[in-house]
Amino acid sequence: MRFRTGVLIGMVAALTAGCTLAGNDTDDAASTVTLVTHDSFAAPQQVLDAFQQQTGITVNVVKKGDAGALTNALVLTKADPIGDAAFGVDSTFASRALAEGVFAPYTSPEADRGPQRYAVDSEHRLSAVDLGDVCVNIDTTWFAERGIPEPATYDDLVKPEYKDLLVVENPATSSPGLAFLLGTVARYGEQNWQGYWTQLRNNGVRTAAGWEEAYSQDFSGSSGKGPRPIVVSYASSPAAEIGDDGKPRTKALLDTCYRQVEYAGVLAGSPNADKAQKVIDFLLSQQFQVTVPENMYVYPARAGVALPASWTAAAPLPPNPASLPAETVQAGRERWIEQWRSLLGQ
């Protein structure tokens, strides 16, 4: 009986101590900038702390799903923004955010270090923070063991020797899936991409809902050891698949890449705009950019930032990735997804 009472008291104590409902934010609102971002955002705490020490600004990070969900959350709340700055709207969705007037113009002094190479609008409402290339990845061991030559281009993927070997993500539910679809539109044009996908379908392409399933379940080159040696992933993925011998076991096909640029901007209507601008400067600074590859698996947008050693060997930046103009993507995105779904019978 006494034991039970003890447990009960312990539980009650744990309840009250652990209660986040009872606690409240002690952050001083004036020195806090709320940065709304997507689920893939990651930054070392010590870098954020250092920024806080230098400027007195605390960055309060709020995540809102993937790039699409983030953009939509920003559009829905533009009358009363949920934050002061946003990071993670990518080139696929940037046109939607710009058309809806989500961002305020701001040209960062850091932007002349390269990020403006990827500018999307003349008013500089968005600054490029990083870029990632979605490319077809292959399991090199699989091909070596069977003596089958490795594929290299989109055209190779529809050849009979690569039948039933490719897995792609659904563009309606996955951002690399959408990038790959846009890559095929860029390569074959608005008239012919459906013909290419018909060939892919006839060659036994498999579709997965998201990157996790495709990469860690279907792909043979990941630790999941799936059945298929060709997958749509990122140019940087092979850096994570380096074996004990120091050699990468997978490879990105650099002729099949589609570039996505991720942007940050000050939210229109933020009462904290001047401090939000400081956060944009921070995201473009050398200090933050150098953390980008290992934390978010993307390439820094700033020029002259050193890549980790494993990246130079396994994940070089593709020299000539494809991309489509933002307006073209904005005009076609939903229609192409719809056509893709009916084409693949899904």
Partner 1 sequence: MSRAGLGLAALAAVPLGFLVVFFAWPVGAILRLGFVDGGVLDALTEGETWRLAWFTVAQAAGSTLIAVVAGLPVAFLLARVRLPGVAVVRTLVLVPFVLPTVVVGLAFRALWTDGGWMSIVLANAFFNVAVVGRTVAGLWALLDTRAEDAARALGASRWRAFRSVTLPALMPAITSAAAVVFLFCATSFGVVLILGGARYRTLETEIYLRTENLLDLTGAAALSLVQIAAVLAALLLGAAARRRRESALRLRSRRETARRPVGGEWAVIGGAVVVLGLLLTPIVALLVRSVSTEDGWSLAGYRALSSTGNDGTLQVSGWEAAMNSLRTATDATVLAMIIGVSASVLLVALRRAPGRLARGVGESMDAALMLPLGVSAVTVGFGYLITLDALPGDLRTSPLLVPLAQALVVIPLVIRTVLPVVRSIDDRLRQAAATLGANPLRVWREIDVPLTLRAVVAAAGFGYVVALGEFGATSFLARPQTPTLPVAIASLIARPGQLNNQMAYAACALLMLVTAAAVIVIDRLASGRVGEF
By CB under 8 A, what part of segment 219-278 binds partner 1?
222-224, 227, 233-234, 237, 240-241, 243-244
Question: Scanning residues 155 to 194, which ones bind partner 1 (CB under 8 A)?
Answer: 170, 172-173
Site for partner 1 in 188-207 (CB under 8 A): 207
Closest CB to partner 1 among 150 and 294?
294
Which of 6, 9, 44, 198 is close enough to bind partner 1 by CB under 8 A?
44
Is 196:106 a contact under the CB 8 Å cutoff? Answer: no
| Residue 19 contacts partner 1 per CB under 8 A | yes
Strands (E), 140-272: 166-169, 206-208, 230-234, 250-252, 258-267
Q: Does 83 bind partner 1 (CB under 8 A)?
A: yes
Rounded to an integer, what distance in angstroms lies between the CA atom of residue 91 and that of residue 146? 39
Residue 80 sits in the site that holds partner 1 (CB under 8 A): yes
Say how many C-beta atoms besides its own lie within 10 A of residue 249's C-beta: 17
Q: Does 309 bind partner 1 (CB under 8 A)?
A: no
Give yes or no for residue 316 binding partner 1 (CB under 8 A). no
Structure tokens at 73: 């959350």
Is 69 one of the binding residues for partner 1 (CB under 8 A)?
yes
On the 0-12 / 13-18 / 19+ scale of CB atoms within 10 A, 150 is middle
61 binds partner 1 (CB under 8 A): yes
Question: Taking CB under 8 A as the rule, does residue 341 contact partner 1?
Answer: yes
Token couple for 279: 């956060």
Q: Retrieve residue 205's tokens.
A: 């392409």
Looking at 33, 51, 64, 277, which residue binds partner 1 (CB under 8 A)? 64
Between residues 18 and 195, which has the closer beta carbon with respect to partner 1? Answer: 18
Phi-psi region of 290 (alpha: psi -120 to 50; beta: other; left: phi over 0): alpha
Q: Does 42 bind partner 1 (CB under 8 A)?
A: yes
